[in-house]
Chain A
Amino acid sequence: MPRWGMVIDLDKCVGCQACSVACKEENNVPHGSPEEQQWKREIYWHKVIAATNGRYPQVSTQVIPMPCMHCDHAPCVTVCPARATYRREDGIVIQNYRRCLGCKYCMVACPYGARSFNYKEQEEEEYHHPDLPPDRSVWGPWPYPTRTHGVVEKCTFCFHRIDKGLKEGKKIGKDVVPACVEACPANARAFGDLDDTGSEVARLLSTRRPIRLREELDTKCKVYYLLK
C-alpha cells in the first residue's frame, strides 16, 4: 500500500498562489467574499502564508504553501466523534460530509488550521475542469460529494485524481498529481509514494534535509518542506 506524501521546495516557491487557485478550481471550493475573508469564514483547502523574521533592513520573509498535512497521527482523526474524518489505507486523511455533524472539534484540534467550516449554503460553481469532458451530462455529478452548510471540509490530496489514475494504471506522481502540484509554475512541488524508494519525493527527501511544520507536536505529517 502506498503512503502518499508531498514535498515542497521553498527555494523554488515564489508565492504566486497558483496552487491555491488551482485547488479552488479543482475541488469546487467556494471563493467567498472580502468580508468573509476578513471574518475568517472563507473556505481554504490550501493557503499560502508568509512568515517574517528580523527587522528592516535585515529581514527575510519566507513564503510557505500549506495544504492539509495529512498527518499519520492526525489529531483531527483522533478527536472526531462521528468518524467523519478518517485516515485511508494510503495515508490520506479525508472528510466525509455525510457523517460530519459540525461539532468543529477537529478545527480546534488541527495544529495547521487546515480545516474550514461551511458557514452558509455554498453556491455550486462551474469551474473549468480539464480532466473531465466539457459536457457535464456525460460524467454526471462532480467527482467529490456535494457539501451542505454546517459541515467541516479540508484538502483531500485530490484523492479523486489518484483513485482514477490508479484504476487507469497511470503512474501516480508522474502522470497523475494533485491539482496544486500540477499548477505550480516553478515545479516547487512533488507528489508521490513516500515508501517507494524510486519515487521523486523519496529522491528529493534524500537530497536536502527536509523539515515538517510543527514537528514538536509529533503529528508525523506527510508534507515535507525543503528549506532555502
Chain B
Amino acid sequence: MSLNFTTIEGKSRGYNTLLAILIVLSVAGFVSFMVSYIEGHQLLGSNNLIPWGMPIVVAIYLIGLSAGSLILSSLTYVFGKEEYRPISRVAVFLAIVLIFGAMVGIGLDLGRPEKTWRLFMFFMLNNMRSMFAINTILYGGYFVIGLVYLGSIFAGRSKMTKMMGMIAIGWAALVHMGTGAIFGFVAARPIFYSPLKPFEFLAAAMVSGLALLMIAIVVVFKYTKREYDQKIIFSLSRLLFALIVGLVVIVLIDKLTHVYPPDREATIWLFTGPYAWVFWGLQVGCAYLVPLVLLTHPRYSKSLKGVLAAAILVVIGIFGERFALVIPGTAYPLPFYPGKIEGIWGATGTFPITFVETLMSLGIFTLMGLFFILGLKYMELLPVTETKEENPRPA
C-alpha cells in the first residue's frame, strides 16, 4: 500500500486565528516566566514543603504523552500494522513536540535555569548517581532519536526507519521509567517511594499517549476534511481499554502497599484530605472508571463519540494523576519524631494556584500547539485526501 503524505495549506482564516491566539499565549507564558525569573519563585505556588509545582506536573504529564505517542507510532514501522500508517507520521512528530514541551516545563521550575548546562557535563560536573542526571541522558537521547526517526521516515528509508523505531520504543520506555524513578527512589516521601513507580509511569504514559493520539487523529482528520478508516479508532480503543486495566492494577497495588504500614498517614491523607477530589475525582473517576465504563458499554463503545469522550476523559484524568502525585505527594509533613508535631512544622502544605504559574503552564501547552500546527503546515505529516476540495483548518 503506497500512501502519499502532504502538508496542509494553512491559509484559511481559522488557521491564522489559531496561530495568532497560540502566539499571544506563548508570549504571555514567556513573559510570566521572565517575571518569575527576575522576581524569584515567590510568584509561584511552591514552598519549602511542596518544592515542586505546576511546571513539574505538566512536564511529567507531557513526557508520558510523548513516550506513549512514540511507542504507538512504532506499530506501523516496527510491527508492520499497515492500518495505522496514515497516523504514524503525526505520532512521531507529536512525540517530539511533546518532549520539547516537557523540557521547557522542567526548565520553568528550576530556580536558576541558566545553569542547566551543568547537567550535560556528564561525569565531570554532574553527579551520575542522581536519577535526575541519568534522566538528562535519557531525555537528550530521546530528543535526538526522535528527530532521526522522523528524518528517516521522511527520507523513506524503511530499513533504517524500522531500526530507529525499535530503538525509539526501548528508549521511550526507558525515558518514562526513568522519570518514574525520580519519584520512586525517594525514600523520604511515602507517596513517592515505591519500586512500582517506573512501571506505573510507563503504563500511564501508554494510556495517556494513546488517548491523545486518538483525539489528535479524529480532530485533525475531521477539520482538514480527510477520509480515514474509523476502524482504526475502534481497534485503538480496545488497546486503550487493555492499557487502562493494566494501569489500574499497578496503581491499585501501589496504593495498597502504601496503606499498609509503615508510613500510611500520608497516603490516607491523600485519600481523605483536601486533595481527595483530585485523587478520587480526576485520577480514579476521570482516568479509570468512566473510560472503562464507556469502553465496555454496548452502545458507547461502538460510537465514535463515546470512544472519543473516553479518550478525552483519560487525557484529563491522567493530568489529575500527575497532580495527585507531585503536589499531595510532598504536602504531608515529614514525621520527624513520633507524636503530633505542633505548629507550622506539623501542618500540611497548601499549594495556591497563582496567576503567573498558570500562565506559565498554559504557555507550555500553547507553545507546543504552535509547533504542532506549524509542523502540519510545513512538513508532510498528513496523508493526501482523496477528495481534492481543500479547506484546511487543523486544531
Q: Do B334 and A111 have beta carbons less than 8 Å apart?
A: yes
Which A residues lie within 8 Å of B116 (CB)?
A: 101
Known contacts A104-B52, A107-B51, A119-B42; is A113 also within 8 Å of B127 by CB?
no
Q: Do B186 and A108 have beta carbons less than 8 Å apart?
A: yes
CB distance from A153 to the nearest CB of B (A): 11
A14 sits at the interface (CB 8 A): no
Residues of B within 8 A of A (CB): 37, 39-42, 46-49, 51-52, 109-113, 115-116, 118-119, 125-127, 129-133, 136, 182, 186-189, 192, 262, 330, 333-346, 349
Q: Do A117 and B344 have beta carbons less than 8 Å apart?
A: no
Q: Do A62 and B337 have beta carbons less than 8 Å apart?
A: yes
Residues of A within 8 A of B (CB): 37-42, 47, 49-53, 61-62, 64, 66, 75, 77-83, 99-105, 107-113, 115-121, 148-152, 213-214, 216-217
Q: Do B112 and A150 have beta carbons less than 8 Å apart?
A: yes
Q: CB within 8 A of A82: which of B42, B51, B118? A: B118
Q: CB within 8 A of A217: which of B118, B125, B188? A: B188
CB distance from B141 to the nearest CB of A (A): 16
- B326 nearest CB neighbor, chain A only: A108
Q: Do A49 and B112 have beta carbons less than 8 Å apart?
A: no
Most chain A beta carbons < 10 A, residue from B51, B129, B187? B51
Which A residues lie within 8 Å of B342 (CB)?
A: 49-52, 61
Q: Is the interface of B mostly helix, strand, loop or mixed?
A: loop
Known contacts A64-B337, A119-B40; is A82 also within 8 Å of B48 by CB?
no
Q: Do A38 and B344 have beta carbons less than 8 Å apart?
A: yes
Q: Do B339 and A62 have beta carbons less than 8 Å apart?
A: yes
- B342 nearest CB neighbor, chain A only: A50
Q: How far is the CA of A75 from the CA of B132 in the complex (A)?
A: 13
Q: CB within 8 A of A100: which of B112, B136, B340? A: B112
Which B residues lie within 8 Å of A66 (CB)?
A: 336
- A48 nearest CB neighbor, chain B only: B345
Q: Do A82 and B344 have beta carbons less than 8 Å apart?
A: no
Q: How far is the CA of A47 from the CA of B346 in the complex (A)?
A: 12
Known contacts A119-B40, A150-B40; is A213 also within 8 Å of B188 by CB?
no
A-B contact pairs, 17 of them (CB 8 A): A40-B344, A49-B337, A51-B346, A53-B338, A81-B118, A101-B112, A101-B115, A102-B41, A102-B111, A108-B192, A111-B188, A112-B334, A112-B336, A116-B48, A149-B111, A152-B111, A216-B262
A-B contacts besides A38-B344, A120-B42, A148-B112, 9 pairs, CB < 8 Å:
A41-B42, A49-B336, A51-B338, A77-B127, A83-B125, A101-B115, A105-B130, A108-B51, A213-B336
